[in-house]
Structure 1
Amino acid sequence: MLDVRELTTSYGAVTALDRLTFSAPRGKITAVLGANGAGKTTLLRTLSGLVRPTHGSAELEGADLVRTPTEAMSGLGLAHVPEGRGVITELTVEENLRLGGLGRSARSQAAPLDRVFTLFPVLSDRRNAIAHVLSGGERQMLVIGRALMATPKILLLDEPSLGLAPRVVGQIFDLLRSLVESDGLTVLLVEQNARSALSIADFGVVLNLGRLVVHDEAAVLAADEKLRHAYLGF
């Protein structure tokens, strides 16, 4: 579904992605792993058009992401949830969610909104609450739900576990697995917690200083003790 070839992205003299090549199959979770500074977040920002590569290509079902304006990514079926749980705290939960469906009529937003509330019952219970009062875990659910309002084909998710309790992380990861299995969603998951990411992923991509170290099935990566110690921290 996602095909990345020789992708190179630089910040001035610093090369953050160095001729990166891999693919992410449809209806699967591909975990992008590596230490801080490996290029994981830059990869997601490049795929969603927030930064432009200096070389290479990235295609989503044949559509050229490199030349697509950021504001047009949603129309291709791509949704990006950056690190940091960026909710608009002055708006209610439902108002935040509806922002994810901008460009749709209220009627066409109804089904995705119902789906999000089914996936996240806590958001349904607090749909009229101001987002400022939500916990960190609830805010993470809200930003994922907002991305799902666009009914994406592929979800780019950056560090969803950061700063959350293990119980909440487990809930969010279980939800991602269920979305893949029930809805056929494709997920590109950037995650510092490599052990947890590999436990739900189908495939893994390990980066080091912007370069590809290995791309293989998640179970193979998790079983490789030398790789885990060298690059994944467990």
Structure 2
Amino acid sequence: MSSTVDERHTRDVDTGRGLHVRGLTTRYGPVLALDDVDLTAPAGRVTAVLGANGAGKTTLLRTVSGLLPAQAGSVHLGDVDLTTAGAEDVARAGVAHVPEGRGVITELTVEENLRLGALLGAARASARKPPTIDDVYALFPSLEGRRRQAAHSLSGGERQMLVIGRALLSAPEVLLLDEPSLGLAPRVVSRIFAVLRGLVDAEGLAILLVEQNARSALSIADTGVVLNLGRVVASADAATLAGDDELRHAYLGL
């Protein structure tokens, strides 16, 4: 890691619960994918990250979760510095990443997939009591009737519920979600987003939600951040972003 990262650590960091990103810069070879990105995803809030394809949204989540190295900037979970941590250490610290593509282990049953998440939840110290597998079934009842089925037999919506449920069983402080609505029917998206909103309100979870479907994301978000070519071009409460016609047309396709 370059010395620039250490220099960026001198920026003010709020040590309250939640995720704090300051000056984050990431490259793919010569390509600048994130350029000096600042954002905060506080506990008890949904923070939506919006923008067109290629804006840097997925790169942001991959950098925060330790899958990609940052060239500059810092990532903190509360007062814990995760800037140079690898993906396993980031997960143990309390950041759960649900990538695009509904990454279940298809050869395992629904319950076996959930047990993997529960293992991490049991292994890490958490201020929040880890949910149980029965709690996940209560959130997503369609999974309970398929608990002994192989995950490859599930619908796209059920796979998304399963991977979110597995992430929740790790008792995260912050949940990173990459395009959870992609390819799903509107009623399934509404169900998943309603569950997520309920968890934020009831449990104080912090959610950083990457979505190309800006309308759906802003409907459950408290605040939004708009990326364009790796830079933050707007950051405001969700209602303000949704009501900004110029911004919506320029960057959100609405």
The TM-score, its normalising length taken from structure 2, stands at 0.88
SS at match of 1:7: strand
Aligned to 1:14: 31
The superposition leaves residues 26-56 of structure 1 with CA deviations (integer Å, 9 ceiling, x where unpaired) of: 1100000000000000000000000011011
Counterpart-to-counterpart distance in 1, 2:151 and 2:143 = 10
SS at match of 1:168: helix
- Using the TM superposition, give the Cα deviation of residue 102 of structure 1 relative to its aligned residue in structure 2, in angstroms: 2.7
For residues 213-224 of structure 1, the aligned pairs below 5 Å read 213-224=233-244
Gaps of 5+ in 2: 1-17, 124-128
Aligned to 1:4: 21
- The yes-or-no answer on 1:152 pairing with 2:169 is no
Aligned to 1:192: 212
- AA paired with 1:144? I
SS at match of 1:162: coil
Aligned to 2:151: 131
Identity value in percent: 65
Counterpart-to-counterpart distance in 2, 1:219 and 1:30 = 12
Counterpart-to-counterpart distance in 2, 1:21 and 1:12 = 22
1:83 to 100, 103, 106: 100
- Using the TM superposition, give the Cα deviation of residue 69 of structure 1 relative to its aligned residue in structure 2, in angstroms: 2.1
- The yes-or-no answer on 1:45 pairing with 2:65 is no
Asked if the contact 1:112–1:148 (Cα under 8 Å) also holds between the matched residues in 2, the reply is no
Aligned to 1:71: 88
Aligned to 1:204: 224
Counterpart-to-counterpart distance in 1, 2:131 and 2:71 = 40
The superposition leaves residues 79-99 of structure 1 with CA deviations (integer Å, 9 ceiling, x where unpaired) of: 000000011111100001111
| Equivalenced residues, count | 231
Counterpart-to-counterpart distance in 2, 1:11 and 1:74 = 23
Asked if the contact 2:130–2:170 (Cα under 8 Å) also holds between the matched residues in 1, the reply is no
Please report the RMSD computed on the Cα atoms of aligned residues, expressed in angstroms. Answer: 1.4
- AA paired with 2:136? V
- AA paired with 2:241? L
Counterpart-to-counterpart distance in 1, 2:193 and 2:119 = 26
- AA paired with 2:20? D
Counterpart-to-counterpart distance in 2, 1:150 and 1:172 = 18
Counterpart-to-counterpart distance in 2, 1:62 and 1:155 = 17
- Using the TM superposition, give the Cα deviation of residue 111 of structure 1 relative to its aligned residue in structure 2, in angstroms: 4.7
Q: Which moved more, 1:178-187 or 1:154-163?
A: 178-187
Asked if the contact 1:206–1:212 (Cα under 8 Å) also holds between the matched residues in 2, the reply is yes
Aligned to 1:54: 71
1:226 to 233, 239, 246: 246
SS at match of 1:189: strand
Q: Which moved more, 1:134-143 or 1:176-185?
A: 176-185
Aligned to 2:134: 114
The TM-score, its normalising length taken from structure 1, stands at 0.96
Query: CA 1:198–1:110 in 2, change beyond 3 Å: closer, same or farther?
Result: closer
